[in-house]
Amino acid sequence: MTADVTADVTAAVTAAVGLVSVTRRIGARRVVSDVTLEVRDRELLALVGPSGCGKSTLLRLIAGLERPNSGTITLGGLDVTDVAPERRRVGLVFQEHALFPHMTVGRNVAFGLRRFDRRRRAERIDEMLELVRLPGTSSRYPHELSGGEQQRVALARALAPDPAAVLLDEPFANLDASLRDELRADIVAALRERGATALLVTHDRDEALALGDRVAVMRDGAIVQVDRPEVVWSAPHDEFVAGFLGPMSLLPSGDGEFEIVRPHQLELVSGGTDQVVEREFRGAVWRHTIIRADGTQLIVDAEPGRDFEVGARCTVAARPGHRLARLARS
């Protein structure tokens, strides 16, 4: 245990972004509770959790917009816990309304480039707008751009001064679903191209799983699990992580333990004591809600053709070849 903590701490302080035992209280409430976390160099870490879990506060702590009550925050190995936000060299991208409406796109991007001379500044503006696929928009004003374009500019502005890390706070939350996918891809591409270290805060599990090199799941101010997306998905640390990341069912496996199964890991066979109580069409699959004789409820996906009507009797079986995660139920 002690060794583990020491390893965590060592990792955190040498990482691009590191937090060691960071706690932030507002009144008596611990909004961020004893969080130890690292974002590795050039990594995109997705921080996901339900609204109000403290993920945005965590991001504000890293940016220096709030101060922890205890703990240490490091950037590039340097302790910045007491450093003002303007000296931290982090880039911020918000959900909305963060561009300076009274400045052109070019001046927005140049805002963090005070130490650049005129020529280099102009070059960097062009380079950044090129990066976010908005070349030639330098003299436009933010209100003349679409929501997606504004977010690209916000990213260009955040990346322009070569920050130690880019922090993105729900950057896609206010966009149409169709726009969102395209913008996501572009923004991740831009981050990769610059080799930026990034922390993406989101409440959207699909977004976290799709974009993150690693995913950190947060709940009630604490980090519950940090790992690669496929690991947190298939081997969740607990029922909360499992349920938060997607639909799942708990299968009792005797001796007080449970197996966590995703809907695609199960199949339906006709005849038996289980019954379909509800189903909905999901495009590739029908999603069935099944009640078993003992009252447990399971969610099972089945391709069209292998689906069952509501009220039909069936048996739920595990598909071969899937390893299920085991949990001791608390």
Partner 1 sequence: MIAWRPGRGPGWALLVVVSVVMAAPVAVIVWSIADPSTEVWRELWQTRLPGMLVDTVTLVTIVVTGAVVVGTGLAWLVSAYEFRGRRLLSWLLMTPIAIPGYVLGFVWLDTLQEPLGARAVRSIWLCAAVLIVSLYPYVYVFAWSAFREQSPRTILVARTLGRSSFAAWWRVVVPMARPSIAAGAALVAMEVLTDVGTVRLFNVSTVADGVLRVWFGTGDRDAAAELAVVLVVAAMSLILVERALRGRARYTQSGVRSGSVARPVTGLRAIVVNVVGWGVLSIAVVVPVVRLARWALRAQQLGQTQTISGDLGFHVVSSLKVAGFATIACLVIGTTMVFIGRERGSWGAALGRVASLGYAVPGPVVAIGVVVALAAVDRQGWWPGDVLLVGSLAGLVYAMVVRFLAVAHQGIGASVGKVSPSAVASARTLGAGRLRVATRVELPLARAGIIAAATLVAIDSLKELPVTLLLRPFGVEPLPVWVWQATSESLWVQASVPSLMIVAIGMPLVAALLWSVERGAEVVS
DSSP assigned state of 281:
E
Site string for partner 1, 22-51 (x = CB under 8 A): ------------------------------
Q: Which is nearer to partner 1, 94 or 308 (CB)?
A: 94
Q: Using the rule CB under 8 A, is 61 a contact of partner 1?
A: no
Q: Using the rule CB under 8 A, is 17 a contact of partner 1?
A: no
Q: Using the rule CB under 8 A, is 99 a contact of partner 1?
A: yes
Interhelix angle 147-159/177-194, rounded to 10 degrees, is 20
Q: Using the rule CB under 8 A, is 262 a contact of partner 1?
A: no
Q: Which is nearer to partner 1, 30 or 107 (CB)?
A: 107
Q: Are strands 90-93 and 249-252 parallel, antiparallel or unpaired?
A: unpaired
**What count of other Cβ atoms lies within 10 Å of the Cβ of residue 41?**
15
How far apart are the C-alpha atoms of 166 and 189, rounded to whole Å? 14
Q: Using the rule CB under 8 A, is 71 a contact of partner 1?
A: no
Q: Which of 21, 23, 42, 111 binds partner 1 (CB under 8 A)?
A: 111
∠ Cα 111 114 116 (to 5°):
120
Q: Using the rule CB under 8 A, is 203 a contact of partner 1?
A: no
- With CB under 8 A as the contact rule, which of the stretches 7-15, 150-158, 194-202, 233-241 interacts with partner 1? 150-158
For residue 15, which of 84, 87, 72 has the smallest C-alpha distance? Answer: 72
Q: Using the rule CB under 8 A, is 67 a contact of partner 1?
A: yes
Q: Which of 11, 65, 179, 188 binds partner 1 (CB under 8 A)?
A: 65
Phi-psi region of 311 (alpha: psi -120 to 50; beta: other; left: phi over 0): left
Q: Which of 9, 83, 210, 250 binds partner 1 (CB under 8 A)?
A: 83
Going from the C-alpha of 270 to that of each of 300, 305, 306, 308, 317, the distances in angstroms are: 14, 13, 10, 8, 11
Q: How many residues of this chain interact with partner 1, rule: CB under 8 A?
A: 34
Q: Which is nearer to partner 1, 167 or 175 (CB)?
A: 167
Find the Cα–Cα–Cα–Cα dihedral 290, 296, 299, 303, rounded to 10°. Answer: -40
How far apart are the C-alpha atoms of 221 and 23, rounded to whole Å? 9
Q: Using the rule CB under 8 A, is 102 a contact of partner 1?
A: yes
Q: Which of 95, 174, 234, 315 binds partner 1 (CB under 8 A)?
A: 95
Residues lying near partner 1 in the complex (CB under 8 A) are found at: 60, 63-65, 67, 82-92, 94-102, 111-112, 114, 154, 157-158, 161, 163, 167
